Structure 1
Amino acid sequence: MKCPKCQCEQPDSNTACKHCGIIFEKYFKYHPTENSTISQTETSIYPKITLKETLFYPGEKVDSPSVYSRAAVLIVISIWGLLLIFSSISSNATGSSFLHLINLPFHEAGHVIFRPFGEFMTSLGGTLGQLLMPLICFYVFLIKQHNTFAASVCAWWFGENFLDMAPYINDARAGQLLLLGGNYGHSSPYGFHDWEYILTETGLLQYDQSIAVGVHCLGSIIMISSVLWGTIIVLKQFKMLH
């Protein structure tokens, strides 16, 4: 068969063009023609797009400014991410980052959204709120807009939120972290410090520092994986320029 866009010859079993990267099923959905290599009947039974093809889809069309801009974004989040990853949890480097000010409204909104489900979920809702927002953005970019690079950046943001959470978890027993409103955990009413309450209620308070380390490591893995994913996408787009 020939690709309907670039006319590159390739096996009939291909679901995406090996040259320009378009996904045939989507192409014929929006560009139906009577003389298409694949008819409308055939597209309805065409093999479904695999997870690998979805994750590494480079887009149907790229241009130099966008590709070089994405490469620059990759460099920035790589360096920034490594600085956060290799900072100690007790230093609260993520809390000093401007991204913390972006995560904070979603954290506070989570408390409000989950309030109808009881006190425990109200406290946990802050953490869930700041994790759900990058996941929602990830879904929109990957599934709705098929922008895999933007999805990889959202995945990096998702991982960064775990690093943002780790100092808060680590502070559950000590209560030395400055909280919203100028309060400290050690002098605030029980329940004001989310993770002191969560870990006390679940009987895990004595493991606060170990849990914080685990959360920090999980976030680090997600961030590094996201950068590698974005790098693969950008390299594919560089090839499409030539």
Structure 2
Amino acid sequence: MMCPKCGFKQPDVQEQCQRCGVIFAKVHGVPEQQSEPALVGQKHARFGELLKKVLTNIPREKNPVVQSGRMLVWLGLVVWGVKFMFTPVSGEAFSESYMHLVNLPFHEAGHILFSPFGPFVQVLGGTLGQLLIPLIVTVSFAIKGNLFAVSVGFWWLGQSFMDCAPYIDDARAGQLMLLGGVTGSEVEDYHDWENILSRLGMMQYDHLVARIFFGRGVLIVMTALVWGGYVLCRQRLKYCAT
């Protein structure tokens, strides 16, 4: 505990302060200091209550058409997500997908957005922008209480992580066709992740970093699908119960 008079931190079993000698029982008007384990326990309890509230207080969807539409969207994300999970990291498969065209403008905008923070952050900003926008979308839906839309935004974030993986994997090879119709090996300092990893002295780990990104993306997509399915099931049960 902490002495209410001098602020000296000491074991909870003490009856008086080891520094100033004040007797804790005689101190009035000062709230009793809680021990660190008690504070940690309270934080865990509050988190558990919040998690329980989120999992149980899912609003009922009154419109069956909207509910059916969400189910179709979820099934589409399941099929599309599984397809991305089994797509090879190496090669052009990701860059030829529709989602790559969705991610690309935010990637390029990230370079501009982060340009005031120096050359290195500007180069890294492409990847940051590509990941930041889906995250903002997810948080926005969460604030508005649209729990199913949260799963869609989170799915997009996971897919964006996977979409980054082939670019990272290509850092040393420089064989992927980049924006402008050239490859990283044809133009010096043109490949984002060649620059990033070389400046960090991690060029030899390009394949490892790529698979970390890909694995994280798979985990996020799976989490999003589980959450989306859970929300739909809860809404369906509440709809049938009325």
Using the size of structure 1 for normalisation, the TM-score is: 0.76
TM-aligned CA deviation for residue 240 of structure 1: 1.6
TM-aligned CA deviation for residue 66 of structure 1: 1.1
The corresponding residue for 1:207 is 205
The corresponding residue for 1:157 is 156
**Separation (CA, whole Å) in 1 of partners of 2:80 and 2:168:** 22
Structural mapping, 1:67-78, within 5 Å: 67-78=67-78
**Separation (CA, whole Å) in 1 of partners of 2:80 and 2:224:** 13
Q: Secondary structure at the match of 1:107?
A: helix
Residue 99 (str. 1) matches residue 104 (str. 2): no
Amino acid at match of 2:68: Y
**Separation (CA, whole Å) in 2 of partners of 1:165 and 1:55:** 31
TM-aligned CA deviation for residue 60 of structure 1: 4.9
The corresponding residue for 2:177 is 178
String of CA shifts for 1:102-146, please: whole Å, max 9, x gaps.
Answer: 111100000001001001000000000010101111111011x10
Q: Is the 8 A contact 1:56 1:233 kept in 2?
A: no
CA 1:56–1:199: 2 relative to 1, 3 Å: farther
The corresponding residue for 1:85 is 85
Q: Secondary structure at the match of 1:131?
A: helix
**Separation (CA, whole Å) in 1 of partners of 2:219 and 2:205:** 21
- Tell me how many residue pairs correspond in the alignment: 194
Structural mapping, 1:1-242, within 5 Å: 50-54=50-54, 57-143=57-143, 145-190=144-189, 192-242=190-240
Amino acid at match of 1:105: P
String of CA shifts for 1:58-114, please: whole Å, max 9, x gaps.
Answer: 225432111111111111111111111111111343211111111111000000010
Identity over aligned pairs, percent: 43
Amino acid at match of 1:133: I
CA 1:237–1:109: 2 relative to 1, 3 Å: same
**Unaligned residue ranges in structure 2 (runs of 5+):** 1-45
Using the size of structure 2 for normalisation, the TM-score is: 0.76
**How much is the aligned-residue C-alpha RMSD, in angstroms?**
1.6
Amino acid at match of 2:201: G
Q: Secondary structure at the match of 2:171?
A: coil
**Separation (CA, whole Å) in 2 of partners of 1:215 and 1:171:** 13
Q: Is the 8 A contact 1:107 1:130 kept in 2?
A: yes
**Separation (CA, whole Å) in 2 of partners of 1:57 and 1:193:** 47
Tell me which stretches of 4 or more aligned residues in structure 1 moved more than 2 Å: 51-62, 91-94
**Unaligned residue ranges in structure 1 (runs of 5+):** 1-46
CA 1:152–1:228: 2 relative to 1, 3 Å: same
CA 1:138–1:186: 2 relative to 1, 3 Å: same
String of CA shifts for 1:165-215, please: whole Å, max 9, x gaps.
Answer: 00000000000000001011001122x110000000001100101111111
Amino acid at match of 1:208: D
